[in-house]
Amino acid sequence: MNILLIGSGGREHALAWSLSASPLCDKLFIAPGNPGTAQLGENVPLDVTDHAAVVAFCRAHAIGLVMVGPEAPLVAGLVDDLQAASIKAFGPSKAAAQLEGSKAFTKDLCAEFSIPTAAYRRFTEPGTAKTYIHQSGAPIVIKADGLAAGKGVVVAMTLAEAEEAIDMMFGGGLGEAGAEVVIEAFLEGEEASFFALCDGTTAIPFGTAQDHKRVFDGDKGPNTGGMGAYSPAAVLTSELQDRVMREIIAPTLAGMRARGTPYTGILYAGLMLTKDGPQLIEYNARFGDPETQVLLPRLKSDLVTALIAACDGVLNTISLRWSDDTALTVVMAAKGYPGAVEKGTEIRGIADAQALPDVLVFHAGTKQDGERILANGGRVLNVTALGRNVAEAQRRAYEAVEKIDWPEGFCRSDIGWRAIERERG
């Protein structure tokens, strides 16, 4: 069959790598794609906000499956419009994507179905929100309800910071996303991510990961979209994973079904492993970036078969096989990220890095210029390696990073440190 993949980041390069390797995939199109995906299929300049144009493209190219990478098209209802046109599409409906699109929606679902999460209240104006934080005390967490490109959460260590966040959000600092605010209790513990493939009724585990959000070594500096990740996350033992499936994922699926908005797609649970057990921090209605770049290299089963089984509601008929290896990815970013960066600088040595055993270089913000690859964004490359453990995967990934000649770029030098300390015991 022909497959259309929507998106253009490192996550989509990793997805394209798995999709194009499937015996079921005849031709892969990526809209809009990047120079990495161009090596695996055909990049097409579709306007994915124009759903009628996407439907027309699918008809013209006999697309048998559409895989949606990022959250924005999901929240905009692209999957609903494709399905209405009888085109198979992987990802949640607009109503089900509210699990990512609205923090208040998710918190209310947790309350209704007894899913462990931080205690919370919802607010639509600053006065009552400030009264509440003064009653609760700091630290406390202030969250814009809607999608805010990673800027919608403020973990306030003082009441002054919390007040500032409330004023910023209700003052329109995040646009419509901040029209409603959720305030929740501060959770203590280690963070980890858990992924489940869902068909509305059945969920099957789809791996675990941990990422590094801070820009500098030692987890210092401002938050980013993620500077590196590894999978599996050993901290999520099989007992804890069973508990996450039972206490968090299963009741979420049951609750979404009971509400008439069954969840189909990848459910990405951001967890806090507290002394009282795993608690849900947030859901994403899609694959993670850069988590996908470490999940998919470990998948031994056919991704297309799994995605179609989810679309068709028959996940109970398949099982997935995973490599025992660990995958680790190092994000190479343009200097200045997560602030302003220079674009157009040349990157050399990608082929040399790729040539190393068990190494995959995924493109994120790159641009093809004739034979040259240029930086075209903040996070630019994901240098991924497999190894028998985190330490070996880390060593291989940094050997590959050494091959990349890009003076205007940088990366963290300690991705995986926490897991390596754990391996050393």
Q: How far is CA 13 from CA 8, 292, 301, 385, in A?
A: 7, 9, 18, 15
The least distance separating ligand GLY from the CB of residue 229, rounded to whole angstroms, comes to 7
Of 282, 246, 255, give the one whose Cα is nearest residue 267: 282
For ligand AMP (CB under 6 A), the number of binding residues is 11
Span from 10-18, 105-113, 179-187, 351-359 in contact with ligand AMP (CB under 6 A) = 179-187
Comparing CB distances to ligand GLY, the nearer of 166 and 294 is 294
Closest residue to ligand AMP: CB criterion: 282
Partner whose footprint covers residue 12, from ligand AMP, ligand GLY, none (CB < 5 to 8 Å by kind): none
State which of positions 58-77 bind ligand AMP (CB under 6 A): none
Q: Decide: is 333 part of the binding site for ligand AMP (CB under 6 A).
A: no
Residue 118 is a binding residue for ligand AMP (CB under 6 A) = yes
Shortest Å, Cβ 84 to ligand GLY: 28
Q: Is 184 in the site for ligand AMP (CB under 6 A)?
A: yes
Residue 270 interacts with ligand AMP (CB under 6 A)?
A: yes
Binding site for ligand GLY (CB under 6 A): 211, 225-226, 284, 288-289, 291
Binding site partner of 118, from ligand GLY, ligand AMP, none, Cβ cut-off 5-8 A by kind = ligand AMP
Work out whether strand 27-32 and strand 42-43 pair parallel, antiparallel, or are unpaired.
parallel
Among 113, 132, 186, 417, binds ligand AMP (CB under 6 A): 186
147 binds ligand AMP (CB under 6 A): no
CB nearer to ligand GLY: pick between 51 and 286: 286
Q: Which CB, 289 or 392, lies closer to ligand GLY? A: 289
Which stretches of the chain bind ligand AMP, using CB under 6 A?
A: 118, 141, 153, 155, 184, 186-187, 191, 270, 281-282
